[in-house]
Amino acid sequence: MKTDIILAGVGGQGILSIAAALGKAALDNNLNMKQAETHGMSQRGGDVQSFMRISDEEIFSDLIPKKGADLILSVEPMECLRYLPYLKEGGYVVTNKTPFINIPNYPEIEELEASIKALPNYVLIDADKIAKEEVGNGRAFNFVMLGAASPFIDIPFEYLEDGIRALFLKKGEDIVNMNIKALHAGRKFAEDNK
Amino acid sequence: MQKHLLLGVEAIAQGAIDAGISGVYAYPGTPSTEITEYIQESKIANKRDIHRRWAANEKTAMESALGMSYAGKRSLVCMKHVGLNVAADCFMNSAVTGSNGGIVVTVADDPSMHSSQNEQDSRVYGKFAQIPVLEPSNQQEAYECAKYAFELSETLGTPVLMRITTRLAHSRAGVEVGEAKLENELHLPSNPKQFILLPAIARKQYRLLLNKQEKFEEASENTGFNKYFEGKDKSLGIIACGIGYNYLMENFSSEECPYSVVKVSQYPLPRKMINKLAEECDKLLVLEEGYPVIEEFIKGYLEKENIIGRLDGTLSRDGELNPDMVRAALGFSCHTDAPTPELVAPRPPALCEGCSHRDVYTALNEVINTYGKGRVFSDIGCYTLGALPPYESIYTTVDMGASITMAKGATDAGLFPSVSVIGDSTFTHSGMTGLLDAVNEKTPITVIISDNESISMTGGQESSAKGRIESICEGLGVEKDHIRVLMPVPKNHDELCAVIKEEVEYKGVSVIIPRRVCIQKAARDAKKARVARAKAGK
């Protein structure tokens, strides 16, 4: 198996917590993984991305080649489109619906959603809303997103649950359960809407 | 064996800890910062009380590390590429003194300038100083290289440069970790004159360094980090340096690479391997992240015309490598990728909502625009973002501390007013000496030290300036009445404007210190306090 994922968002949105759970899931199950991320200047409200590669074979490059990604997982709708040159034919775009508007020339929301809906394979999910209403904590939106992407990631779902458990172990059972609930809520949405 | 999920920089840190270092010396700078942070958080480092506090700048870091090496213990120095310019005086001379305890200088380059003002290649510095350079290709190798570097440094009596670039620095992978060595015992150099670079001794020391060159090359031939892979197809031979090797193999992930390859992760170049490759293959492709250092070098000595790489345009002359560039260089057809839709707008980084620098620039613009544009000199830090809309307040960003001295030079040339904007930590890094120049000549400049009490761009490290900026300025001779401290918040806007106006008009050196803690740091500190309270409650 081999899955190449581009995680996208805006600096400060926390895509790295998604990467951390995925990384833990891969490593604890003896899969190879590489995950390149952005630090420094662009973290200040700029566009950020992380290249996440998981495979049962040796992984060489830290970067994903163009047209190489199986999945673009974006926590912000405009950001998912920025990385389309990296998407494989038949690859999936899973994106959050809530825009992060910190620039004056942000596109019209209708136009933006139309672009996303024109893609052959996409899941457009309001992760913020699901996190608040179904999980009971807005901050869990990142793991709603991971759940929504999980059907397209070629590793068993239980690995992801274990990854979250390992990541939040120190923070207590309640936090673990909340994030796992978020994972399930996201997955359910994707299964119903893919 | 249990694998640890580590960034490239963290793998180096763990390797250094396991090599038995007694100290890390560094100034934060992307993409090198997390090496030191990892050691600061490490249990074993805390238990051993390894030196791990931030230095005021890269030069002081390098010098302290050399002092530790003099005393016989192992020391690690870390910095970003441009930091090595600051440390270069000591770095170059440390090659001549050589080492006693192992000393490894880890420098993280930033090709494509993700978070930097240039993309200089530190391997050139390695060649310049004539010391061995290691350039690991992946996270596991980064760990092994760090451990090996200290052995090499002690065996050959030389500082070792470890060069990495952004992609390895900030990419995570599983790393197998080995045994941790004990620290060295304190022991002085066997030759008590080794570190006295008086000309007569320096000449001897330098000859010693020259005589070691053969050993350095021998180490490169025999190291496990350089490898020769025999290929069937001799039409092309490939020299793949550092992570260039990964991008090469990425293009052959489903099959075997048909070409002969020399994978290079240790310099000086393993000449025997390179000669063998050159003899066997019709054409050579050089894959290197950064400058065409090797390509230029072998073009000089091989007398071979068919060498392709960054110099002849086969690969782009600037920017970092990636698998797609290497794909094209191998002559494979390029993917026709879907373009990014036009409606996707660029999203440049920006000062955070509520950041104190915003209040400073709002006031500064209001005052300075009455004099005309082009009069504000700035520096390296979050406040550099004041160059972008909506502020567009600053006109220079060159190197750490240059805001003060460039404002001085412009004033000497007759520009009025000349205002400098510098951060608290950048001021203590390299701004103080420039301020002294201005004081000595009573140059009429206004220096705004926008003090957010942290090194924010790199993640909020402790600033050496904290709590002592006024006393430093006073000590340097700035008049007390012209050191103005105030809180930059919107309600103090008029006051801030008035103070800037007054001090700009003062015909001498004035320092304005708008002080408010970085909002990111404030949020992190509040969170830490909440966690601490919750723990205490239990």
**What is the domain-level CATH number for residue B436?**
3.40.50.970
pLDDT at A42: 64
User: Is B302 in the same domain as B241?
Assistant: yes
pLDDT at B535: 78
Q: Residues 30..69 of A with a Cβ closer than 8 Å to B: which?
A: 32-47, 51, 57, 59-68
- Helix (H) or strand (E) run with residue B160 in it: strand B160-165
- From the list A35, A81, A87, the residue facing B341 with the nearest CB is A81
Give me the phi and psi of B388, to 5 degrees please.
-90, 160
- In angstroms, rounded to a whole number, what is the distance separating the alpha carbons of residues A154 and A139? 26
Domain that holds residue B245: 227-329
Domain that holds residue A34: 2-97+111-193
Question: A57 Cβ partners below 8 Å, 6+ apart?
Answer: A2, A32, B253
Q: Which two tokens stand for residue B421?
A: 């904007």
pLDDT at B236: 96
Q: For chain A, which ranges sit under pLDDT 70?
A: 41-43
- The residue assigned the tokens 């009445």 is B481
Considering only CA atoms, which of A110, A84, A83 is closest in space to residue A97? A110
pLDDT at B302: 63
Cα-to-chain-centroid distance, residue B96: 23
pLDDT at B263: 98
User: Is B372 in the same domain as B494?
Assistant: yes
Contact between residue B153 and residue B95 where contact means Cβ atoms under 8 Å apart = no
Contact between residue A106 and residue B345 where contact means Cβ atoms under 8 Å apart = yes
Which residues are registered as beta bridge partners of B77?
A: B25, B105
* CB-defined contacts A:B, below 8 A: 147
pLDDT tens digits along B271-321: 999 999 999 999 999 999 999 999 998 887 666 678 899 988 899 999 999
Which of the 8 DSSP states describes residue B465?
T
User: Is B217 in the same domain as B240?
Assistant: no
- In angstroms, rounded to a whole number, what is the distance separating the alpha carbons of residues B369 and B375? 9
pLDDT at B121: 98
**Residue B410 domain-assigned (yes or no):** yes
**Residue B485 domain-assigned (yes or no):** yes
Could you tell me the CATH number of the domain that includes residue A76? 3.40.920.10
User: Is B311 in the same domain as B363?
Assistant: no
pLDDT at B303: 62
- From the list B139, B249, B341, the residue facing A115 with the nearest CB is B341
Domain stops at, among B203, B222, B241: B222
Number of structural domains found in chain A = 1
- In angstroms, rounded to a whole number, what is the distance separating the alpha carbons of residues B381 and B303? 46
Is the ipTM beyond the 0.85 threshold? yes
**Residue A105 domain-assigned (yes or no):** no
**Residue A27 domain-assigned (yes or no):** yes
- Judged by CB atoms closer than 8 Å, whether chains meet at A44 and B458 is answered as no
**Residue B323 domain-assigned (yes or no):** yes
Mutation choice for B interface testing from A18, A28, A39, A116 by most B CBs within 10 A:
A39
Q: Which two tokens stand for residue B275?
A: 């000669």
pLDDT at B304: 64
- From the list B250, B457, B458, the residue facing A61 with the nearest CB is B250
Q: Which two tokens stand for residue A32?
A: 């190879």
pLDDT at B461: 93
- Helix (H) or strand (E) run with residue B528 in it: helix B519-537
User: Is B236 in the same domain as B187?
Assistant: no
User: Is B212 in the same domain as B304?
Assistant: no
Could you tell me the CATH number of the domain that includes residue B242? 3.40.50.920
**Residue B340 domain-assigned (yes or no):** no
Contact between residue B132 and residue B414 where contact means Cβ atoms under 8 Å apart = no
**Residue B351 domain-assigned (yes or no):** no
- In angstroms, rounded to a whole number, what is the distance separating the alpha carbons of residues B410 and B443? 10
Number of structural domains found in chain B = 3
Q: What is the DSSP string of B213-266?
A: HHHHHHHHHH-TTSEEE--SEEEEEEEEETTHHHHHHHTTTTS---EEEEEE-E
Q: What is the DSSP string of B364-421?
A: HHHHHTTT-SS-EE--SSGGGGGGSTTT----B--STTHHHHHHHHHHHTT-SS-EEE
Which residues are registered as beta bridge partners of A133?
A: none
pLDDT in tens, chain B (538 residues): 678 999 999 999 999 999 999 999 999 999 999 999 999 999 999 999 999 999 999 999 999 999 999 999 999 999 999 999 999 999 999 999 999 999 999 999 999 999 999 999 999 999 999 999 999 999 999 999 999 999 999 999 999 999 999 999 999 999 999 999 999 999 999 999 999 999 999 999 999 999 999 999 999 999 999 999 999 999 999 999 999 999 999 999 778 999 999 999 999 999 999 999 999 999 999 999 999 999 998 887 666 678 899 988 899 999 999 999 999 999 998 777 678 999 999 998 889 999 999 999 999 999 999 999 999 999 999 999 999 999 999 999 999 999 999 999 999 999 999 999 999 999 999 999 999 999 999 999 999 999 999 999 998 999 999 999 999 999 999 999 999 999 999 999 999 999 999 999 999 999 999 999 999 999 989 988 988 888 787 5
**Is B80 in a helix, a strand, or coil?**
strand
Considering only CA atoms, which of A46, A78, A72 is closest in space to residue A152? A72
pLDDT at B1: 66
Q: What is the DSSP string of A27-93?
A: HHTT-EEEEE---SGGGTTSEEEEEEEEESS----SSPPTT-EEEEEESSHHHHHHTGGGEEEEEEE
Residues of B in contact with A106 (CB under 8 A): 345
User: Angle at Cα B217 formed by Cα B212 and Cα B218, nearest 5°?
Assistant: 95
- From the list B115, B173, B324, the residue facing A34 with the nearest CB is B173
Q: Which two tokens stand for residue B356?
A: 């104190």
Residues of A in contact with B335 (CB under 8 A): 65-67
- The residue assigned the tokens 């006024």 is B470
User: Is B314 in the same domain as B287?
Assistant: yes
pLDDT at A11: 87
User: Is B154 in the same domain as B25?
Assistant: yes
pLDDT at B254: 76
Considering only CA atoms, which of B72, B83, B70 is closest in space to residue B33? B83
> Within an 8 Å CB–CB cutoff, is residue A92 touching chain B?
no
pLDDT at B455: 93
Give me the phi and psi of B134, to 5 degrees please.
-110, 140
**Residue B478 domain-assigned (yes or no):** yes
Residues of B in contact with A119 (CB under 8 A): none
**Residue B218 domain-assigned (yes or no):** yes
User: Is B54 in the same domain as B81?
Assistant: yes
Maximum CA extent, chain A = 45
pLDDT tens digits along A92-129: 999 999 999 989 999 999 999 999 999 999 999 999 99
Considering only CA atoms, which of B524, B384, B531 is closest in space to residue B461? B524
Amino acid found at B413: A
Residues of A in contact with B31 (CB under 8 A): 39-40
- Judged by CB atoms closer than 8 Å, whether chains meet at B3 and A27 is answered as yes
User: Is B39 in the same domain as B11?
Assistant: yes
Number of C-beta neighbours around residue B209 at 10 A = 19
- Helix (H) or strand (E) run with residue A169 in it: none
